[in-house]
Chain A
Amino acid sequence: MTWNELLLMRHEWTLIGLALVLIILEIGLSDEQKNRITISASLLMASITIVGFIPAEHGSIFGGMYVTDPIRILMKNILNIGALIIFLQSNAWLSKASMKNRITEFYLLLVSSLIGVNYMISAGHFLMFYLGLELLTIPIAALAAYEQYNSKSAEAGIKLILSSAFSSAILLFGLSVLYGATGNLYFAGFSFTGSLVTVLGFIFFFSGLAFKISIVPFHLWTADVYEGSPTSVTSYLSVVSKGAAVFVLAILLFTLFRVIQPVWRDVLYATAILTMTIGNLFAIRQQNLKRFLAFSSIAQAGFILLGVINGGGLGMATVIYFVLMYVFSNLAAFGVVQTVEQSTGKLNIDDYNGFYKTNPKLSLTMMLALFSLAGIPPLAGFFGKFFLFTAVAENGFYTLLLVAVLNTVISLYYYLLVVKAMFINKSESPIPVITSDGFMRTSLLIAATGIIVLGFYSPVFDYIMELCTTY
C-alpha cells in the first residue's frame, strides 16, 4: 500500500487518530484535568473537518472494497460538520457532576460511530457497508443508555439496540438473497437482472436501511429513543446517523439498483407520502420538545425521499444540499433545547411560554431553526425544500408534489406553535435568564450562520450540482 493510497482514507485515518489521542488523554490526564478533554476533542474535530475539505485525490483501494469520490467526500464533510457541532453542544451536559470521569468515553464512542459513518459511505462492497453500519449503530446504543440512573435513557438504549438488531437481520437477509441471485457482493460489476428474487432482496435491504432513516412504517422506535436518550445523542441520531443512511440509500439506489428504478420509485413514492404525513400529524400532538423534534425529523425524512425519487443528478444534489441545511437547522434547534434542558430540566413546549422576554437570543436562534425547518425564506430551509420540490417536478410527479407542499403547511402549523409559545404566550414563571457556555454559543453561532448564509450563497449548491452531474 502506497502513501497515496493511504491518503485516500484520510477521513477515517484522522478520526482513528482522534480516537487514539482521546485514549492517551484519558490515561495521561489527572481527574482534575479531565475537563480539558472537551476542548481538545472539539479542536481536533474542527481540524479534522477542515482537513476533510482540502481537495485530494480519489479512487478505490482494497480491490474495490473502499471507494472515494468527490461526492462521497462532500457527504463525509457535511456529516463531520454535524458531529463537530454536537461535540461543542455536549459540554454543558458532560460538565455535570454525574458525568465526571465519563467524558472521554462519550467522545470515544461518538468518534467510533463516526468512523462507521465514514466507512459506510465509502463502502464498495456490501460487507464493508454492513460493517460500517454496525460500527455506526452499536456505539450509539451504548450512548443512548449513557445516563445510567435514568430509566428512560436505559429504555432508549435497549429499544435502539433491539430495533437495530432486528433491522440488521432484515438487511442481512436481503443481502443474502441478493448474493444468492447474483453471486457477487462488490458494488462494481454488480450484475443486477431485475428478476423477482433480486426485487425481493432489494425490498428486505431497503427495509433494513429504512429503520435507520425512520421511514414510516419503520419509524416506531424513533420517538421513544429520541425522548429517552441524552439530547446530544438524540441530535446525533437525528442528523448524522440519519444523514449517513440517506446518503448511502441514495448512492445505492442511483447506481446498483438503477436497473429496478421503477420498483424502488413506487416504493419510495408510497413511503414518502406516508412518512411526511404521519410524521407531521403526530408532531402536532407532541408536548415534549424532543418527541416533537423526533416526529418533525420523521417528516423531514419524508421530504428527503422526494429528492431520492428523482433518481438523477438533480435528485442527488438536492438530497445532499437538504441534509446540509438540515444539519444546521436541526442542530440549532437541538442546541437550544439542550441549553434549556441542562440549566432548568424543562422540555415541554408550555415551559417555553414567555421565553423571548427572558432569553431573546436563544429564542431568536430557535425561531430561525424552526422557520428554516418549515421552509421560510430567506433561510436555508426554504432553498433546501424548494430544490427538493424541483427534483420531484422534474419527473412530472405533480400529485406527489402537491401532497408534499400541503405537508409543509401542516408542518408550519406545529413549528409556529413553538414560536407562539416563545414569542406570544405569556407566563408567570418563564424560564429564567440562561447563560450558556462558550462551546454552546460557538455551536449555535455556526448553525445560525449556516442557516442564514447558505441560501444566499448560491455557489454551494452550484458546486454540488456540478459534482452530481455524473448521476
Chain B
Amino acid sequence: MTLLLALILVPALTALAIVFAGNSKQVKILSAAGMSIQLLQSVYLLYAFLAERSSGNTEPVLFYNRFAWYSSLHISFDIGVDGISVAMIVLTAIVIFTGIFASWEVEEQYKEFFISLIVLATGVFGFFISLDLFVMFLFFELAVIPMYLLIGIWGSGKKEYSAMKLTLMLMAGSALLVVGILGIYFHSNVNGHHSFNILELSGQQFGIDMQRIFFPLTFIGFGVIGALFPFHTWSPDGHSSAPTAVSMLHAGVLMKLGGYGCLKVAIWLMPQAAHELAWIFLILTSISVIYGALGVISQTDLKYINAYSSVSHCGLVLFALLMLNKTATNGAVIQMISHGLMTALFFALIGMLYSRTHTRTVHEMGGLMKVLPFLSVCYVIAGLASLGLPGLSGFVAEMTIFVGAFQHTDWFHRFITIIAISSIVVTAVYILRVVGTLLMGPVKNETYLKFHQATWYEKLATVTLIAGIIIIGIAPLWLSDMIMESLGAILD
C-alpha cells in the first residue's frame, strides 16, 4: 500500500528537489537518483506482486487502498494494482530511467526540462495505480500538459505547431472522456449512490442503450492517445518535434495510456457494447496498422519513420484488445510493453545519432556501423525486435495477438486479421531498408571518423532497454501468466 503511494511521491518529491538544485550536474544527479529509486521500487513491486500471487492471493487487485477524498461525490483516492498495471509500471520506470540518461546532454533551461519530464512521469505512474475514474482522469491530463512545454521549448523543427496540435488533440480526446466518465458515473448505482470506483463499477450491469452511447466516447477518448485512426495525426508531428527523452516517454509510455484505458474502462465496464461495436473500431484500427506501416515507407526522417511505425504498432494494440478474448488481449498488453521498450530504444538511438551527425535524414547518413559499432548494433537489435524476430519481445507479442485473433472463426475477423498480419511484411521492408542505408555501406562523410564512441550514460540507457527486450523475448511466460490472471476479472 505504502509502496504504491511511494510510486507517486518519489517522482513528485524528485521534481520538487530539483527546484532547489544548483547547477546542471546536481539537477541530473538528482533526477537520476530519483528515477533509480523509482526503478528499484517498481522492480520490488513486481517481486512483491508475484510473491503475493504465488502465496495464493487471488484478489483481482492487490495492495488495494482507499483514501477518502471528495466524499460528497463519492470520489476517493483508490489505488491498487493488477498484473497489467504492474507490468506497465515497470515499463514506465524503465523508460523514464533511461530517458533521464538519454537527456544527459540537455543544457538549455535544464531545471525546467527535468521538472517537466518528471511531472509527466508522475502523471503516468498515478494513472496506472489509480482505480477511481476521476483520479485516473486527473493523472491522465497531468501527463499530457507538460508535453506542451517539453515540445514547445526543447523541441526541434516546427515545434510550436506540433506542440499545439498534440496538446489540443489529446485534450479533445480527454474531453470525450469527461463525458464518458460522467455517463458511467451517473448510470451506476452502488449501494444507492453513484461511484467512480472501477472495481465497484465492474460489478454493475449497465443497460445496452447507455453502453452504446458511452462506449464509443470512452474508447475514442482513450483511442486518440493510442493513435487510433483517424485521430493519429498528432503522433508523427509530435514525436518528430519532441526532444529525445520526450519522444521516448511519449511513444514508449504515454501512448500506452490509450490501450490501458480502453481495456480497463471502455471494455471492462461496457462489455456488451464492446462486442456489438467492435467491428467499427476493428476496421479503424486495422487501417491504423496498415496505414502506419505503409506511411513509414515514404518517410526519410528517422523520427517520422519511428513515429509512423508507432502508429502501426499501437494500432495493433487496440486491434488486439478489440478481439475481446484473453489470448489476444494478453498479446496486446505484451505488445504495449514490447513496443514501449523498443520504441524508447529507437528514439534514444536516433537522438544519439543526431547529436553526432546533426541530421535525421536517412539518405544523408551511411556506414555508421564502421564508425559507431556499439550504437549501430543496438539499432539493429531494435529493428529486429520491431520486425518480430523470435527471441526478442516483438515476436512474442505479435504471435500471441495473431493466435488470439484467429480464434474468431467468422470471415470478417479472419479477413481483417490477415490484413493486419500483412503489416509485418511491410515492417520488415522498411526496417531492413533503413538499417541497410543507415548502417551498412561505405562511410558517407569524412567527419564521421571523428565521432566519439558511446558514452557511459548512452550505454547505460541502451543496455537497460535491450535487456528488457531480450528478457521478454526469451522468457515471456511469467509475464504472460501475470497478465492472464488479471484478464480473468476483466473479460469474463
Contacts and interface: CB of A to CB of B under 8 A. Distances in A.
- A and B found bound together: yes
Interface of A: 317, 371, 376-378, 382, 386-387, 389-390, 393-394, 396, 398, 401-402, 405-406, 408-409, 412-413, 416, 419-420, 423-424, 458, 461-462, 465-466
Residue with the highest number of chain B CB atoms closer than 10 Å, among A390, A394, A406 = A390
A409 B168 contact: yes
Given A376-B141, A394-B186, A387 B175 contact: no
Contacts of B175: 405-406, 408-409
Contact of B138 (A378, A387, A413): A378
Contacts of B69: 458
Interface string B169-191: 00110011011001101100000
A402 B71 CA distance: 26
B72 A461 contact: yes
Contacts of A317: 72
B181 to A, nearest CB: 9
Contacts of B489: none
B167 A416 contact: yes
B20 interface: no
A458 B172 contact: no
A412 B147 CA distance: 14
Given A402-B179, A405-B178, A466 B72 contact: yes
A217 B53 CA distance: 62
Given A416-B167, A462-B70, A371 B145 contact: yes
Given A371-B145, A398-B183, 11 more contacts: A377-B142, A378-B138, A382-B138, A390-B73, A396-B186, A409-B175, A412-B168, A413-B168, A419-B148, A420-B164, A458-B71
11 contacts: A371-B145, A376-B145, A386-B178, A393-B186, A396-B186, A402-B176, A405-B178, A408-B171, A419-B148, A423-B152, A465-B73
Contact of B179 (A401, A420, A466): A401
A423 B153 contact: yes
B182 A424 contact: no
Given A408-B175, A458-B69, A377 B148 contact: no
Contacts of B134: 386
Residue with the highest number of chain A CB atoms closer than 10 Å, among B73, B137, B139, B164 = B73
Nearest to B152: A424
Contacts of B148: 416, 419
A446 B163 CA distance: 31
Given A378-B142, A408-B175, A461-B72, A390 B182 contact: yes
A423 B160 CA distance: 11
B213 interface: yes
Contacts of A398: 179, 183, 213
Residue with the highest number of chain A CB atoms closer than 10 Å, among B182, B185, B213 = B182
A306 B145 CA distance: 25
A454 B182 CA distance: 22
Contacts, number: 82
Nearest to A377: B138
Interface string B142-165: 100100110011000000100110
Given A398-B183, A420-B152, A412 B171 contact: yes
Nearest to B72: A465
A280 B215 CA distance: 29
A377 B186 contact: no
Residue with the highest number of chain B CB atoms closer than 10 Å, among A416, A419, A423 = A416
B153 A409 contact: no
A462 B185 contact: no
Contacts of A406: 172, 175
B179 A405 contact: yes
Interface string B208-231: 000001000000000000000000
A412 B167 contact: yes
Contacts of A413: 164, 168
Contacts of A419: 148-149
B178 A458 contact: no
A415 to B, nearest CB: 11
A343 to B, nearest CB: 25
A416 B70 contact: no
A420 B160 contact: yes
B234 to A, nearest CB: 13
B182 A387 contact: no
A401 B178 contact: yes
Contacts of B153: 423-424
Contact of A462 (B71, B167, B183): B71
A461 B74 CA distance: 12
A390 B160 CA distance: 33
A219 B178 CA distance: 29
Contacts of A423: 149, 152-153
B211 to A, nearest CB: 14
Nearest to A464: B72
B119 to A, nearest CB: 10
A50 to B, nearest CB: 26
Contacts of A416: 148, 164, 167
Nearest to A371: B145
Nearest to A405: B175
Given A465-B72, A466-B72, A393 B185 contact: yes
A465 B70 CA distance: 10
A381 to B, nearest CB: 11
